Structure 1
Amino acid sequence: MTEEVELEHKVLSVPEGLDGERIDSALARLLGLSRTRTSELVAEGHVLIDGHAPAKSDRVHPGSILEVSIPAPRRAVVVPSEVEGMRIVFQDDDIVVVDKPVGVAAHPSVGWDGPTVLDHLAGIGVRISTSGAPERRGIVHRLDVGTSGLMAVAKSEHAYTVLKQAFRDRTVDKTYHALVQGHPDPHMGTIDAPIARHPKHDFKFTVKDGGRESVTHYDTLEAHRFASLLTINLETGRTHQIRVHMAALHHPCVGDLMYGADPTLAKRVGLDRQWLHAYRLGFIHPRTGEHVEFDSVYPDDLVRALEVVRASD
């Protein structure tokens, strides 16, 4: 997908909670990359554990030192290719709504060489708006690589302009479901806390004075012994917003090791990513003026994890 020329070096210590994990799985959790990508890094010789080159099936142990060299692409481009598991929910002349699987980015970017929504749309012949930066044309909002669910892309220039403004004006209904550790108290509420880049960690964000305004509303759908299923509505759309805000409440999304989730619980429910799904998307259609709304069912990995949590009661 991209031309790789530079290497980013990282040195990591294996925490207690990852004892016995396969090295590719442990790296995926620690770096926030897909397991496919970390397997490739191991296979290509970009990973050392305690100074030795491992196989991707080798296990890690607490205190071991992981050294990772991540090839960074010079630039990002769309490569037409169908993405397994991607589903078209709706499309007309103005918009296309997709149900994005985990492990897929919204658009190409520096540092990401995995599949993208735009790759898939190009691969199946869907023509989209030419508005926006070349590598993210038609994109009016995004989902994290590790978050599944609904995402809209503009096909016409008119739709791009109208939908971008709708997101700025906060008139779009963005509803997520999240399985978080513990039980938020109160069981429903609003988190109004600014978010900025983390000063010490790449690809990570944090609540910080002087950051960008960020507002999250949550309500508890189900309360279980170890975790709670929440419905979440976003006023703003900051990168990692739900993950950062829930972690700030000390109730991180189950499986979200980047933001402090318990790796033992993640392992117990079988998750390699955060339990977070873009469940509903609603907005005024840019041409007809009618309200349109789309729902998405949970993918299999989230269903299985929720079943384990429910069974723990």
Structure 2
Amino acid sequence: MTELRATIEQETGRIDKVLTGLFPDYSRSQIQLWLKEGVVAVNGQPVKANYKVKAKDALFVAIPEPETLDVIAEDIPLTIVYEDEDVAVINKPQGMVVHPSAGHSHGTLVNALMYHVKDLSSINGVIRPGIVHRIDKDTSGLLMVAKNDQAHESLAKQLKDKTSLRKYVALVHGEISHDKGTINAPIGRSKVNRKMQAVREDGKSAVTHFTVLERFEGFTLVELKLETGRTHQIRVHMQYIGFPLAGDPVYGPKKTLPGNGQFLHAQMLGFTHPVTDQEMVFEAPLPEVFEKTLEKLRKSH
């Protein structure tokens, strides 16, 4: 165990900011994690991140030993769209879980990343190394991955500040009559089914913009731009306005198009590079099953 000690002389403000200034070798996200874990004490008492430091406060941090990484690197095929020393962009296939969890200890994107990319940020712990954001198992498309903590903090801030670009393509049930729309409806955990999300007045703010790309008999192809990134946001919002995703086993109708889950693809991803400040934009083609389904709909239409 590593120990950090300091006595406050003139510094003021929240303890997480003060500790970041006192110990620049550690990121603010890492310090906030210590505060959550209760390993930061002031005058012998554990404190939270919002504690305001005072003169003569004695700070003590007992940094726990790093957890042994029990997630196994696996040689799983992985499409790496871009990679440098700081970031990687992955085109995740439909059917792949992003990170290990109960019932999914192997075959995840993280298992594959640990084999192919290796250097990954530690901010989200041993189960989610490098993972800045996620997409559902049966959603395909682009994900950004952080290879160090500095890059992770920058990419996470861009997501929080809504400056990153995330565009999806989805096939939905029904024929949407208007060409564009915005769904602004808060999302929270469903009171009926704890495994589902739902539009709730007391939920977290959620905003989705959509544009109609193509109409078919009984279906519409839409492009969706996310302002926020709530769990199942697109699936919940499209169900909410009466146009659930085709193939969605949870939020859509049971009788739908044949496939392997919802027809939802994270097609475009953009962000500012955390080190070079270069604007990066990536695009991934629709999966083969998605394209073939559209061809069939065009022919029947």
Tell me if both proteins adopt one fold, taking TM over 0.5 as the criterion.
Answer: yes
* 8 Å contact kept, 1:184–1:249: no
User: Residue type of the partner of 2:162?
Assistant: R
**Following the alignment from structure 1 to structure 2, what is the Cα–Cα distance between the partners of residues 125 and 135?**
15
Task: Give the aligned partner of residue 131 of structure 2.
Answer: 139
CA 113–134 in structure 1, closer or farther in 2 if over 3 Å, else same: closer
Give the secondary-structure state (helix, strand or coil) at the position aligned to 2:255.
Answer: helix
Identity of aligned residues (%): 38
Matched, 1:79 2:79: no
**Following the alignment from structure 2 to structure 1, what is the Cα–Cα distance between the partners of residues 200 and 190?**
9
**Following the alignment from structure 1 to structure 2, what is the Cα–Cα distance between the partners of residues 162 and 129?**
12
Deviations 1:204-255 (A, max 9, x none): 1111110010000000010111211101000000110000000011101111
Give the secondary-structure state (helix, strand or coil) at the position aligned to 2:158.
Answer: helix
Give the secondary-structure state (helix, strand or coil) at the position aligned to 1:110.
Answer: coil
Deviations 1:237-286 (A, max 9, x none): 0110000000011101111131123x3332xxx21200000000001111
Larger Cα Rg: Structure 1 or Structure 2?
2
User: Aligned-pair distance for 1:186?
Assistant: 2.5
Matching residue within 103, 109, 121 for 2:113: 121
**Aligned pairs (5 A) from 1:53-92:** 77-84=70-77, 86-92=78-84
Deviations 1:63-113 (A, max 9, x none): xxxxxxxxxxxxx952211224x2000000000110000111221123434
Task: Give the aligned partner of residue 281 of structure 1.
Answer: 269
CA 96–183 in structure 1, closer or farther in 2 if over 3 Å, else same: same
User: Aligned-pair distance for 1:305?
Assistant: 1.5
Matched, 1:100 2:97: no
Matched, 1:210 2:199: no
Give the secondary-structure state (helix, strand or coil) at the position aligned to 2:81.
Answer: strand
**Following the alignment from structure 1 to structure 2, what is the Cα–Cα distance between the partners of residues 191 and 163?**
25
Matching residue within 300, 310, 313 for 2:288: 300
**Aligned pairs (5 A) from 1:1-313:** 77-84=70-77, 86-261=78-253, 263-266=254-257, 270-313=258-301
User: Residue type of the partner of 1:259?
Assistant: Y
**Following the alignment from structure 1 to structure 2, what is the Cα–Cα distance between the partners of residues 290 and 274?**
33
Give the secondary-structure state (helix, strand or coil) at the position aligned to 1:136.
Answer: coil
* 8 Å contact kept, 2:94–2:140: yes
User: Aligned-pair distance for 1:114?
Assistant: 4.7
* 8 Å contact kept, 2:246–2:252: no
User: Aligned-pair distance for 1:184?
Assistant: 2.2
**Following the alignment from structure 2 to structure 1, what is the Cα–Cα distance between the partners of residues 195 and 70?**
20
User: Residue type of the partner of 1:256?
Assistant: D
TM-score w.r.t. the length of structure 2 is: 0.74
Deviations 1:145-203 (A, max 9, x none): 01000001100221011011111001110000001111224321100001111122242
**Following the alignment from structure 2 to structure 1, what is the Cα–Cα distance between the partners of residues 256 and 97?**
26
* 8 Å contact kept, 2:71–2:105: no
CA 240–310 in structure 1, closer or farther in 2 if over 3 Å, else same: same
**Following the alignment from structure 2 to structure 1, what is the Cα–Cα distance between the partners of residues 150 and 230?**
24
* 8 Å contact kept, 2:95–2:260: no
User: Aligned-pair distance for 1:124?
Assistant: 2.1
Q: Extract unaligned runs of 5+ from structure 1.
A: 1-75
Task: Give the aligned partner of residue 47 of structure 1.
Answer: none
**Following the alignment from structure 1 to structure 2, what is the Cα–Cα distance between the partners of residues 296 and 79?**
28
**Following the alignment from structure 1 to structure 2, what is the Cα–Cα distance between the partners of residues 275 and 77?**
33
Give the secondary-structure state (helix, strand or coil) at the position aligned to 2:202.
Answer: coil
**Following the alignment from structure 2 to structure 1, what is the Cα–Cα distance between the partners of residues 103 and 190?**
18
TM-score w.r.t. the length of structure 1 is: 0.71
Q: Extract unaligned runs of 5+ from structure 2.
A: 1-68
User: Residue type of the partner of 1:168?
Assistant: K
* 8 Å contact kept, 2:92–2:109: yes
